[in-house]
Amino acid sequence: MSDITRTPWSRRQLLRGGLALTAWMLRPSWARAEEEIELAEPIAPVGDPECTRWALLSDTHIAADPENHYRGFYPYRNLQEVTAQIGDDLPDGLVITGDLARLKGQTQAYENLKALLTPIAEQRPVHLALGNHDKRDDFFESFGISYDDDGVVKNKHVVTAEAGPVRLIVLDSLLTVNWWTGKLGELQRSWLGTVLQTCDDKPTILFLHHTLNSQLLDMHRLLDLIKPIAKIKAVVYGHSHKYNYSEFAGIHLINVPATGFNQWGCHPVGWVEARFTRETGEFKLHTIGGNRKLEGHTRTLTWRT
């Protein structure tokens, strides 16, 4: 199970800033009263202390109509297939790096997404980032999440979780619904900087939706922030509907493929199975459509020191 309590900030702050859908929620409901959460027993860390295995998805693009399709792909069916694969050999947790919904985000789209994820979320942590095709209010309504003015980051959905040998931080780059560009914003960057300066030196992986290029409007400010902080080992994102690896100042940049559909036939559609240790990250591609030539492709990355 996940442990989001062993950090220098309070459980109340974490849950207000963005409720992680964690395995201690051993029932179909996706929300608990805050008072109930605060009375809960401490949560055990996810996975083996030496290695943790996670499913990484992006751009699921679930619509209100399960039969919605684009370029010959049916995103609802795709996620059905992927969750079945994941369910056959449950990892320690799952992260989706945004664009959960199709185009503008709708309550029914998130209800459909929730229905597909619930069998996994009843047993493992599921952490969801928001992308440019998500609508924060509809997402919060469907998943029973709320926040107030003294939350972690006002008007943003952020999650921090301990996962065996690593720490996961899920950020919110949603700026304008159904528009390409995104932004973390000064408040979120300031919060991240404070967290990184005050937490221990456990290897840390950042997750967000937008590709680290000009479409993330404050990309350079983010990179300037994390470059000198050695505990940041990798940034995982989606948005481009591509599968790609690159590097910045020793920080690994991992663009996971879209689960819903690709934009160009040369790119795979699917998900990535990741194994994290204190020294390395191993990433294995699972394809369900698009270009399947790289099915099973595995890449091992050594963390910077």
pLDDT tens-digit series, residues 27-84: 333 433 222 323 233 334 556 789 999 999 999 999 999 999 999 999 999 999 999 9
Is 6 part of a structural domain of the chain?
no
Residue 161 lies in a domain: yes
d(CA 44, CA 17): 21
Torsions phi, psi of 205, nearest 5?
-115, 125
Structural domain includes residue 285: yes
Residue 2 included in any domain: no
What percent of the chain clears pLDDT 90, i.e. is strictly above it? Answer: 80
What pLDDT sits at residue 115?
A: 98
Please tell me the predicted confidence (pLDDT) of residue 3. Answer: 28
- For position 168, what pLDDT does the model report? 98
Residue 30 zone, left/alpha/beta (φ > 0; ψ -120 to 50; rest):
alpha
- Residue 29, φ and ψ in degrees, nearest 5: -60, 140
Q: Is residue 204 one of the residues assigned to a domain?
A: yes
The answer to whether position 246 is within a domain reads yes
Which residue range(s) make up the domain with 15?
Answer: 11-302
Listed range (98-107, 137-146, 165-174, 259-268) with the worst mean pLDDT: 137-146
Q: Average of pLDDT values for 213-227?
A: 98
Rounded to two decimals, the pTM is 0.86
222 domain-assigned: yes
pLDDT at 146 over 80: no
The total number of structural domains in the chain stands at 1
- Residue 28 maps to which CATH number? 3.60.21.10
In a domain, 4, yes or no: no
